[in-house]
Amino acid sequence: MSPLSPKDLQPRPSQDPRPVGTVSVEQAIFTSARTSQKDGYQLVAWSPGISSEDARQLAVWGPAHDSMIVDDPTDVSLNFHPLGDGKFCISRTMLGLAEYSGRGGRQVYTHCFVLKADAFARFHNDPFRVLSAALAIHDLRPGAKLPTDLPTLSMLPSGGPVDAGLIRFFDSPLQQQTLVAWTHQAMTSEKLMFTGSYNDRFLTVFFNLLPVSIRPKFSFSTRLRYSPRREFRLIGLANNKDEQKKAARQEGCSAFQFDLPPRTPEASRHPWATWVQVALCHREPDETARMISEIPLSTRLEDLSAIGNRLRVAMSAKRKKGNAEAKEAAAPVVVPEDNTDRDELLQLVERALDGDVTALERLNATWCAQPDRKLESLRQDCARHFVHLSKQRSHAPGSKEAIAVEILSLILRATP
């Protein structure tokens, strides 16, 4: 063997051209066009890592003519689904240019991002993080001319498994009550269509509060017409009555109205939804993020009931221990100046029943942030007052007063 020269001892350049820390993400565009291959909806451009089987499945899942519920070029549909062979697709759909065929309307333009399972795991299996990374480096709007090929992208994942900031800004009683009801429905439904005045923030926070290993189980679409060939688990249909009726005829399809979230007693609620309620109500987003982040990656969907119960007990025990230590360290106990007068609290209950959001927020803050023996006694007084008043009134379904009753039931832990 000949001796090594100084050149031989130099480190060889890396064969991987990607910047350190980035992951490879393939992309494709599905839309209506006249190409050398065919006319109509097809993949018009894709990156080198898109296989023929990927292309076939993207064409099956891709929305075609008149698939957008709202005929508005500014409306955006977000979608997430498995692609087979351990891959996942996150896509963004909107209306593009006028149809080339002259049949009227605009082309439905979908930009897809395809990741292998290990690459998706780098984003903590959160489709919204992939979309955020894509939007940071790519203009996803359709241009005047369609591309013919696309490069493989290098995206940089960032952040931990759970974003405490998302939890921190999701703190109004109405938001929390809706998310708890939504989580219960999502956990217990084989296929869930949701309607009304929803926004993507609910889906974002829902994924953020799921264990990482569970997130791929919840495929979703928003603002697309229902199609049985697209097997999404969560289906956003806005307020289109025809689409709601069509989807409701499908076997195993449940419905959730964001403008009238259904009420589920705690005893029959999915334990993970109850844990979400406790986590939001305790207002300790960093602790909530830590507890969810530590759930093992081997966790299965069927494990969530037991884990939800365990986390709820753990957080409540931690809160009680913290309260006891605070009480011992601060003698005599300093009762908060606001919201502790019985008459004032009873008045807040009356105002809340009339739909006063400020009163609801003050009542929620009283028992979420300052639980102690005196406040627990006041809570029971308020609960009796709430039940008494509620029996004397009747509210139209969906009215602000009816929603207030739902929220007060959660805050005061009382059922009229």
* Structure letter (DSSP) for residue 286: H
> In this predicted structure, what is the pLDDT of residue 371?
55
> In this predicted structure, what is the pLDDT of residue 408?
79
> In this predicted structure, what is the pLDDT of residue 16?
56
More confident residue, 20 or 82: 82
> In this predicted structure, what is the pLDDT of residue 293?
95
389 has a pLDDT exceeding 60: yes
> In this predicted structure, what is the pLDDT of residue 307?
92
pLDDT band at 17, cuts 50/70/90?
low
pLDDT in tens, 318-375: 776 666 565 555 443 334 444 467 888 888 888 888 877 777 777 777 776 555 677 7
* Structure letter (DSSP) for residue 68: B
> In this predicted structure, what is the pLDDT of residue 335?
41
More confident residue, 252 or 289: 289
> In this predicted structure, what is the pLDDT of residue 213?
97
Average pLDDT over residues 387-415: 77
- Look at the block and give the residue holding tokens 């960032």: 158
- Look at the block and give the residue holding tokens 């060939």: 229
More confident residue, 31 or 17: 31
pLDDT in tens, 199-224: 888 999 999 999 999 999 999 999 99
101 has a pLDDT exceeding 80: no
> In this predicted structure, what is the pLDDT of residue 343?
84
pLDDT band at 129, cuts 50/70/90?
very high
Q: Cα separation of 11 and 348, whole Å?
A: 72
The answer to whether the CB of 371 falls within 8 A of the CB of 380 is no
The three-state DSSP-derived secondary structure of the chain is CCCCCCCCCCCCCCCCCCCCCCEEEEEEEEEEEECCCCEEEEEEEECCCCCHHHHHHHHHHCCCCCCECCCCCCCCEEEEEEEECCEEEEEEEEEEEECCCCCCCEEEEEEEEEEEHHHHHHCCCCHHHHHHHHHHHCCCCCCCCCCCCCCCEEECCCCCCCCHHHHHCCCCHHHHHHHHHHHHHHHHCCEEEEECCCCHHHHHHHHHCCCHHHHHHCCEEECECCCCCCCCCEEECCCCHHHHHHHHCCCCEEEEECCCCCCCCHHHCCHHHHHHHHHHHHCCHHHHHHHHHCCCCCCCHHHHHHHHHHHHHHHHHHHHHHHHHHHHHCCCCCCCCCCCCHHHHHHHHHHHHCCCHHHHHHHHHHHHHCCCHHHHHHHHHHHHHHHHHHHHCCCCCCCHHHHHHHHHHHHHCCCC
> In this predicted structure, what is the pLDDT of residue 288?
93
> In this predicted structure, what is the pLDDT of residue 342?
83
pLDDT band at 92, cuts 50/70/90?
very high
130 has a pLDDT exceeding 90: yes
More confident residue, 159 or 99: 159
The percent of residues in the chain predicted with pLDDT above 70, rounded, is 88
> In this predicted structure, what is the pLDDT of residue 325?
63
